[in-house]
């Protein structure tokens, strides 16, 4: 695995499971490669198909294996509801230098889907191990 800089763009989401009973979700995305360095998009209020187009940068190390994506519905005054989570293997991103695709948020035990998130990534190697 290589050491380098990873740029992750959270483009948009579609078909998110609706956690709110009276209106649309207030979604945001948390993205991280380790628990110590998390980034978060802004919250979009009452939207069916959110578009963020927000980019975050990470320094990667040989020990980093995945980019983790967690999508939440913010609830004022309450703990946010987790809509869904997924992870993307960094190996292919590092080999190709880029990634641009929709990723599924798998349902319970991997059955069904809780929605899709469009992710773009670029990787620039700074050194090799």
Burial of 93 (C-beta count, 10 Å sphere; 0-12/13-18/19+): buried
Residue 108 pLDDT more than 90? no
Residue 24 pLDDT? 85
CATH number at residue 111: 2.60.40.150
Residue 33 pLDDT more than 70? yes
Other CB atoms within a 10 A radius of the CB of residue 3 amount to 16
* β-strands 37-40, 81-89 pairing: unpaired
Tally the domains of the chain: 1
**Mean pLDDT over the full length of the chain:** 91
* β-strands 37-40, 27-34 pairing: antiparallel
Residue 128 pLDDT? 58
Q: What is the pLDDT of residues 45-64, one digit of tens each?
A: 999 899 999 999 999 988 88
Look up the domain containing 75 and give its range: 2-128
**E strands, 2-128, where?**
2-14, 27-34, 37-40, 51-60, 66-73, 81-89, 98-106, 113-128
């Amino acid at each position: 695995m290589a050491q380098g800089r990873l740029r992750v763009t959270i483009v948009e989401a579609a078909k998110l499971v609706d956690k709110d009973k009276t209106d649309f979700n207030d979604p945001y995305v948390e993205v991280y490669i380790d628990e110590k360095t998390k980034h978060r998009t802004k919250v979009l209020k009452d939207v069916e198909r959110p578009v963020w187009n927000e980019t975050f940068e990470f320094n990667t190390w040989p020990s980093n294996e995945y980019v983790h994506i967690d999508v939440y519905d913010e609830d004022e005054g309450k703990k946010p509801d987790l809509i869904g989570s997924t992870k993307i293997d960094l190996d292919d991103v590092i080999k190709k230098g880029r990634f641009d695709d929709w990723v599924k948020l798998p349902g319970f035990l991997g059955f069904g889907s809780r929605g899709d998130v469009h992710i773009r990534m670029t990787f620039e190697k700074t050194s090799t191990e």
